[in-house]
Structure 1
Amino acid sequence: MDADDADRYRAPALDKGLDILELLAGVEEGLTQAEIAKRLDRSPNEFYRMLDRLVRRGYVTKLEGDRFTLTLKLFGLSQLHAPTRRLASFATPLMRELAQRTKQANHLVVFDRGSAVVIAQHEAPDYWGLSIRVGSHISLFDTGSGHVLLAFRSEQERQMMIAEHARSREEVKLGAEFYERLAHIRECGYEMMPSAQTAGVHNLSAPVLAPDGRCIAALTCPYIPLVNAPTAPDINETIAMVMKTAGDLSALAGSNVRASE
């Protein structure tokens, strides 16, 4: 495309919005409207409406001190495409083996636009088990998967995830005890908690990690004690198997990331 064609197909408003997104993507602490204008060599008034629309559409959020920063919405949109499909594809045989060994169902969850979303699931091998439908949206705050997704992120990413979740659902007040729980999960490497939704079930969850240590998914087993299967693994043996499978999937995910770079 020559210069005349480039000028003919210009979309100034779109260019302005993309300039803001690309600028904020490289700034962790955020920027004020005046700082954005200065870095892009424009008048601050030029960006007022654009920033307002980006905030209202959930791509940008406003922090204390009138600073703007990116949300995780772009990351969430990317999860809808090939990376998530590849992750689910890699996970399927590992999840099948995990179900066979534990005698329990399991599922894989990612963070997408304010929710924890089930992207893959494997039934228990026998006639009894607890499964969650693929595509289900679950809470970040009272599920093992949600806790793991939050625990293995930076503080800034975690706050963005919580803010996005609050916009898509009823806002929840989180106290010091909740953040202490996340720190404990990060230290242990897994979550083991009674289900807040179903009596008699424990959520056993472990992170699938990118090479940089950031959680890209949570592998969860809704563990049910099986009284008719005396040789089935107990809860401690089962969480060890969940962690091993999550570690194997992390290695595959890391290899895939490096191969695509």
Structure 2
Amino acid sequence: MEDEETDRYRAPALDKGLDILELLSGVDGGLTQAEIAKKLDRSPNEFYRMLDRLVRRGYVTKIDGDRYSLTLKLFGLAQLHAPVRRLVSYATPLMRELAETSCQANQLAVFDRGAAVVIAQQEAPGYWGISIRVGSHISLFDTGSGHVLLAFRSPEERKMMIAESSRSTEQPVLNDDFFKRLDLIRERGYEMMSSMQTAGVYNLSAPVIGPDGKAIAALTVPYITLVNTPHAPDITRTIELLRATTGKLSLLAGSDVRPQE
């Protein structure tokens, strides 16, 4: 009876698309149309139109001419669903504590469809601070959040993230120095850079690491020097506080990293 009910509501085209997505999710380097057909025990012609639609909708991309690979669109969609709400609920009290101890504002961003998207922000406790609206889309290429989200991903994932960004905005020319900077960020564990949007501000950004060792979010302090707040931590101490916070968040996310002291 259960099999009859299952057959009654079958959607062959949907099943075929899901089969492709599930297959590609477990493959590094992509597969050709013929390889997909062979692994799914189907004729290559059966998958031409489905692959074309998946590419046009942004779920799959073609690499090296004839190989198909997943984009990060599904990851981006998932980021804006329940996992993000849980991350924000975990992060909010820690972000509030960070704002109090650092005397600075801070914001949490995730990758979504070609940009870093702010999903939570905490105002500075005093009169002065730099804040950004929740929901804002910011660049991967000239912000601390964007750099961190790229740095703590594999080279293949970086390429896909950059490709998705170039479809929605004009992509800057990225040279070897840019990728060396990402490697440096990964090695030292955080980004520190002058803001390319606001004079006198330093972006201090560190990753929230998931169970797979990759960044699921970036926490950023837009640091400003507070001349009339003598007890405010300096930039070195603020980096320590930031990394301690992302260490705690990473543990809550299931990572085995240890919080920084």
TM-score over 0.5 (shorter chain): yes
Partner residue, 2:230: 230
Deviation at 1:160, TM superposition (A): 1.1
Does 2:89 align with 1:126? no
**Is the partner of 2:221 in helix, strand or coil?**
strand
Whether contact under 8 Å (2:210, 2:255) holds in the other structure is no
User: How many residue pairs get matched?
Assistant: 256
Inter-partner Cα distance in structure 2 for 1:13 and 1:39: 17
AA aligned to 2:183 is: A
Q: After the TM superposition, which of the residue ranges 189-198 and 247-256 deviates more from structure 2?
A: 247-256
In 1, the alpha carbon distance for the partners of 2:30 and 2:78 equals: 22
Corresponding residue number in structure 1 for 2:198: 198
Moved more, 18-27 or 164-173: 164-173
CA drift of 1:86 comes to 0.6
1:69-101 superposed Cα distances (whole Å, 9 cap, x missing partner): 111111111111111111111011111011011
Q: TM-score, normalised by structure 1?
A: 0.95
Partner of 2:259: none
> Where has structure 1 moved over 4 Å in runs of 4 or more?
none
Give the fraction of aligned pairs with identical amino acids, expressed as a percent. Answer: 74
Q: How far apart, CA to CA, are the structure 2 residues paired with 1:213 and 1:9?
A: 39
Letter in 2 for 1:90: Y
Stretch of structure 1 that moved more, 58-67 or 165-174: 165-174
CA distance in 2 between partners of 1:68 and 1:7 (Å): 30
Q: Which amino acid aligns with 2:143?
A: T
Partner of 1:52: 52
Shift of 1:61: 0.5
Equivalent position of 1:259 in the other structure: none
**Where does residue 158 of structure 1 map in the other structure?**
158
For residues 255 and 139 of structure 1, the distance between their equivalents in structure 2, rounded to whole angstroms, comes to 26
Shift of 1:255: 7.0
**8 A Cα contact 2:77 2:112, kept in partner:** yes
Find out whether 1:22 has 2:22 as its counterpart. yes
1:73-112 equivalent positions in 2, closer than 5 A: 73-112=73-112
Residues 213, 255 of structure 2: 8 Å contact kept = no
Q: Find the aligned partners of 2:176 and 2:4 in 1 and give their Cα distance.
A: 59
Post-superposition Cα deviations, 1:94-118, rounded to whole Å, max 9, x if no partner, equal 1101101111100001111211000
C-alpha deviation, 1:6, in angstroms: 2.4
Q: In the aligned structure 2, how far is the partner of 1:165 from the partner of 1:255?
A: 27
**What is aligned with 1:4?**
4
**What is the DSSP-based 3-state SS (H/G/I as helix, E as strand, rest coil) of the residue aligned with 1:92?**
helix
Aligned to 2:114: 114
Deviations 1:162-191 (A, max 9, x none): 111111211222110000000110111110
Q: 8 Å contact 2:212–2:255 — kept in the other structure?
A: no
Residue 211 of structure 1: how far off its partner (Å): 2.6
d(CA) in 1 for partners of 2:136 and 2:65?
A: 37
Q: Deviations over 1:127-156 (max 9, x none)?
A: 111001111100000000000011011111
The answer as to 2:40 corresponding to 1:67 is no
Give the 5 Å matches for 1:238-253: 238-253=238-253
SS of corresponding position for 1:230: coil
User: What is the rounded CA distance, in whole Å, between the counterparts of 2:7 and 2:87 in structure 1?
Assistant: 41
How many angstroms does 1:126 deviate by?
A: 0.7
Between the aligned partners of 2:160 and 2:194, the Cα distance in structure 1 is 26
Query: Is the partner of 2:253 in helix, strand or coil?
Result: helix
* SS of corresponding position for 1:254: coil
Deviation at 1:58, TM superposition (A): 0.6
Q: d(CA) in 1 for partners of 2:3 and 2:93?
A: 51
Letter in 2 for 1:132: I
2:201 touches 2:222 (CA, 8 Å); kept in 1?
yes
Letter in 2 for 1:87: L
